[in-house]
Structure formats: structure tokens, C-alpha cells
Amino acid sequence: MRKKWLQSALALVLALAVCLGFAPLGGPMGAFQAAETETSADSESAETEDSADNGKEQADNSAESGQEQTDNSADSEEEKAPVYKVTVSADANSVVFGKSVTLTAKVTKDGAELTAEELKADKFEFYWWSDIWAEGHEGGMQGESVSYPEKDNVLTANVSLPCVGTYYMAGELKSGDGKIDEKAYAEITVTEPKVEEGSTEDSGIYVDPVLPQDSDFILGADVSSYLSVTQSGSVFYNWNGTKLTDQGFFNLLKQSGVNYIRLRVWNDPYDENGNGYGGGDCDLEKAITIGKWATEAGMRVLIDFHYSDFWADPKRQLVPKEWAKFGTDIEKKRMRFTSTRRTLWNS
């Protein structure tokens, strides 16, 4: 009986110990605690490995990002376009009518001055012209004669200005692909010469008269700018001081012995706003109008195709804007043929 009681008491103590978490280490509670300890250790080990992996991944990403930034920075420096700047100066900003002016242009590339030969090697063109379109230049005079004292050096030019007034002489740098177009200006005032009333001056110039020639001798005149001149307000008179009509002007040329006129034809001598480039704005429409007056007066007409939107010569041949989109010689030849045929057909 006593043994049975002891067994019951022992069972009660063990049950109480289990409930209170004091089971022997080798018992079920001890096994649970050991398993929990192993799980905690495994978890800490996994966290340590994950942390190491994350640190490595972050380091790899940081290295890749740094390399990408370095590469982008290098690409950016390679793609950075050079900066070209133009300045223009004149040896005199005020001259008496009849005197020429020497203009000098300075072109820099990222601050380093370039020579005319270097510009040519980089496929750049440089032009001089009188500007009336830039802001503040609207009242300027137009028309100039440009010559170069040094062969192939377009950065220095001698300029003769035909009228009294203020000129804004432009120096323009333009790349062959049209992506770079820089301009600078020099203001020049042409004044009237001071001549005392009643005085004369022997210029020392004498021109022998042209004697009558055979009927096949060509005595010609370039009148490409006639319409541009008259539309600007200029008026022509005959020898008696009578104002001439357009047809009367060409009749006077014929009566004076002129038997041929020359007409320049430019493809599209206007900018995107419809402003002419100058030099007479010699488009096809003007050539047709002038050609009809000349023909009516009994003169022959010589068409001078420039195949350009502005002046062209053996040293300067810019592709017309309309043709720039064509990349092959075959396409450009087709455009030359079409332009020539259209001009002659309409004439």
C-alpha cells in the first residue's frame, strides 16, 4: 500500500515538474530545449551567411555601379563636341566713300586659335557678307565686294562698300555638315567725301571708249540683282533724266550697245523665315521676270546655274538645302537634271 502511494506521489511530482519546465535533461523537456538550442544556432548561422552574401552582393553592385559611372563619364568626355567661337575686327570702323576696309576674323576651337588651313582640314567654310537680318541690323546697308590679299586665307579680306551708310559686316563659320554655324559682326560707317564746291580732282583714270565691233561680239552685263535693287527703292533714269520703267531700263541697255545679259540662278536663297541671303536673292522666279524684259528688248540671255542656295565658285560649292537629304551621287545627279530642266522649261 505504501509502495503504491509512493509511486502515485512520484508520478504527481514528475507531472508537476513537467508543467513547470523542470524536466530532467534526458527527458522530453530536455530534448525540446536541445532542439530549440540547435534551431537557434542554425538560424544564427543562416543569418550570418545571408549577411555575408548580402554584403558581397552589395559590394559587387557597388563595383559595377562605379565601373558604369566611370564608363559613362568616359563616353561623355568622348562625345563632348568642341566649342568654336568667332570674333571679327576691322582696321577702321569709319571710312570715306571709295576707301576699302580690311577685315580680320579670329576662330578658336576650345580656346585655341585656328588657321585657315586648319579650318579647311576640318571641312569648315568661312564667308564674309553685309548683314541686314540680325536684330539691330535692319537699317544696315547691303552690298559688298570682297577680295583676299593672301591666297587661300579667307580669315583676312579687303572689302569695298558701295554706298554711304552703316554696314554690319558678318563673318560666318560653317561646318560641312551644317551642325556648326557661328557668326560675328563688325560695324563700319561709310561717309561722304568732303569736296569743296566748284573744285575738281584729277583721278588719273582714263578709259578708252569701246569702238563698234562685229555683230557676233558679246557686250554683256550681269543684271541678276536688278529686281532686288528696285524693290529696295532705287530708281533708274535715262540720259535726259526721265524715270525709267522696268522695260525701259532694259531698252536703254540695248540702245547703249548691250546685247547679252547674265542671270544667276540660285535654288533657294532664303532662310526658314523667308529672309533672303542677299546678293540679289536670285531665285528662278526673278530670273524668269528679268529674262522676259531682256528678251523683249532684243537681247540674249545667259543663264548661270550655281546649283547652290547662294554664291558658288570653284572653291565653294554648298549643296542646296533641298538636296541635303540625298546621300548618293545618283540622287544628286537626278536633282541637278530636274532643276536644270525645270529652269529651262519655265524660261
Tell me how many degrees the CA angle 231-141-143 measures, rounded to the nearest 5: 80
Q: In terms of domains, do 267 and 335 share one?
A: yes
Q: In terms of domains, do 324 and 226 share one?
A: yes
For the entire predicted model, the pTM comes to 0.42
Q: Is 13 among the domain residues?
A: no
In which band, very low, low, confident or very high, does the pLDDT at 225 lie, cut at 50, 70 and 90? very high
Q: Is 60 among the domain residues?
A: no
On the question of pLDDT at 97 being above 50, the answer is yes
For residue 94, what pLDDT is reported?
Answer: 93
In which band, very low, low, confident or very high, does the pLDDT at 254 lie, cut at 50, 70 and 90? very high
Q: Is 272 among the domain residues?
A: yes
Q: In terms of domains, do 226 and 304 share one?
A: yes
**218 vs 195 pLDDT, higher one:** 218
Q: In terms of domains, do 249 and 341 share one?
A: yes
Q: Is 238 among the domain residues?
A: yes
By residue range, what is the domain housing residue 95? 84-191
Q: Is 4 among the domain residues?
A: no
> How large a percentage of the chain has pLDDT more than 90?
31
| Whole-angstrom distance, CA of residue 7 vs CA of residue 95 | 136
User: Length of the chain in residues, anyone?
Assistant: 347
Q: In terms of domains, do 314 and 260 share one?
A: yes
Q: In terms of domains, do 187 and 229 share one?
A: no
Q: Is 29 among the domain residues?
A: no
Q: CATH number of the domain at 280, please.
A: 3.20.20.80
User: Which residue do the cell numbers 534551431 mark?
Assistant: 39
In which band, very low, low, confident or very high, does the pLDDT at 1 lie, cut at 50, 70 and 90? low
| Whole-angstrom distance, CA of residue 81 vs CA of residue 76 | 10
Q: In terms of domains, do 342 and 224 share one?
A: yes
Tell me the per-residue pLDDT of 320-347, one tens digit each, with 9 for 90 and over.
Answer: 888 877 777 788 788 888 888 888 877 6
Q: In terms of domains, do 160 and 225 share one?
A: no
On the question of pLDDT at 32 being above 70, the answer is no
Number of domains in the chain: 2
Q: Is 269 among the domain residues?
A: yes
Angle of helix 329-346 versus helix 284-296 axis, rounded to 10: 40
For residue 163, what pLDDT is reported?
Answer: 82
For residue 328, what pLDDT is reported?
Answer: 77
Q: In terms of domains, do 185 and 256 share one?
A: no
Q: Is 93 among the domain residues?
A: yes
Nearest to 320 by CA among 287, 346, 283, 273: 283
For residue 23, what pLDDT is reported?
Answer: 47
For residue 27, what pLDDT is reported?
Answer: 46
Phi, psi values for residue 279, rounded to 5°? 70, 15
DSSP state of 270: B
Over residues 18-28, the mean pLDDT reads 48
Identify the weakest region by mean pLDDT among 74-83, 119-128, 215-224: 74-83
For residue 65, what pLDDT is reported?
Answer: 54
Tell me the per-residue pLDDT of 207-219, one tens digit each, with 9 for 90 and over.
Answer: 776 666 677 788 8
On the question of pLDDT at 162 being above 60, the answer is yes
Q: In terms of domains, do 151 and 259 share one?
A: no
